[in-house]
Amino acid sequence: MSTLDVQEPTTPHGLAVQELHDLSELEGANALFEKIWGSSPGASPMGVEQMRALSHAGNYVAGAFEDGQLVGASVAFFAAPAGEALHSHVTGALPGRRAGLALKLHQRQWALARGLRRITWTYDPLVRRNAYFNLTKLGGRPVEYLPSFYGAMDDVINGGDDTDRALIAWGLNDAAAVAAAASRPVPVAVPDGAAIALSVRDGLPAVGRGDAATLLVEVPPDIEGLRRTDPGAAKAWRLAMREVLGGLLADGARVTGFHDRSSYVITRAASA
């Protein structure tokens, strides 16, 4: 294992984040991914062979350790444009340890040390905690909506739902990212006159106004639970988020933050 000296900020809770190279380390990461995603053996989102090849070729494969125990892992590879970007394909972490944050901060420093300016990744825009983490804790911004990006996935997390994803662009030297990396995230401002474009009403999505300069798009409190208890409602949320958030991004609107741990804040394009 090689360790990158992370200077900014201190790794959360003293977690040790290290690059992974040996087969035994990669097998441990694969087993962790299978546990987190509820995958059957050999069906994790990133297998040992792929991690071995990416690591050997100089890409990012790292693990977060707590008292010597692997509690999180992340895999990323160089992306276009060459020499500027890294794409983070998968990051998984056990809950309650802040290992996901430790991995992303380590990944940021790793990318900066190699002269990169941006990291991208995809996430499910219907999962509140992930939206809050990506936008507020890290300072990233969704820039594209990708319908059914990975096709059908029937693991514990996706539950057979369409795999719509939002693409995050994390400008590593953007003011929001620098402030978040220093544990000083800047709260998003919601101006007077902001309209609600999508809200929760009796557990279901309610489409509202879309004509204000600033819009709020609410995310359901627990989409993963809803997929188990009411698949029809979960499907309605997927379609509503695709229509509203996907439509706004396609029309050139910008997501400027995540308000009150519940809603995307969106500024419409001037010509919209």
* Model pLDDT, residue 4: 35
- pLDDT tens, per residue, the chain with 272 residues: 333 333 344 466 679 999 999 999 999 999 999 999 998 888 899 999 999 999 999 999 999 999 999 999 999 999 999 999 999 999 999 999 999 999 999 999 999 999 999 999 999 999 999 999 999 999 999 999 999 999 866 555 555 668 999 999 999 999 999 999 999 998 898 999 999 999 999 999 999 999 999 999 999 999 999 999 999 999 999 999 999 999 999 999 999 999 999 999 999 987 54
CA separation for the pair 71, 35 (Å, rounded): 11
Question: What structural domains and CATH numbers belong to the chain?
Answer: 12-181 (3.40.630.30), 195-267 (no CATH)
Give the residue carrying structure tokens 């309605």. 236
* Model pLDDT, residue 272: 44
CA separation for the pair 73, 200 (Å, rounded): 34
State whether residue 176 is helix, strand or coil. helix
* Model pLDDT, residue 215: 98
* Model pLDDT, residue 8: 43
Q: Which tokens go with 135?
A: 């936008």
CA separation for the pair 207, 214 (Å, rounded): 15
* Model pLDDT, residue 31: 96
* Model pLDDT, residue 191: 93
- At residue 200, what is the residue type? V
Report CA dihedral (142, 147, 153, 156) to the nearest 10 degrees.
40
* Model pLDDT, residue 157: 56
Please provide the DSSP assignment of 158-180 as one string. TTT----EEEEEEETTSHHHHHH
* Model pLDDT, residue 6: 36
User: Cis link prior to 81 (omega < 30° from 0)?
Assistant: yes
- Tell how far CA 70 is from the center of its chain: 20
* Model pLDDT, residue 153: 60
* Model pLDDT, residue 3: 32
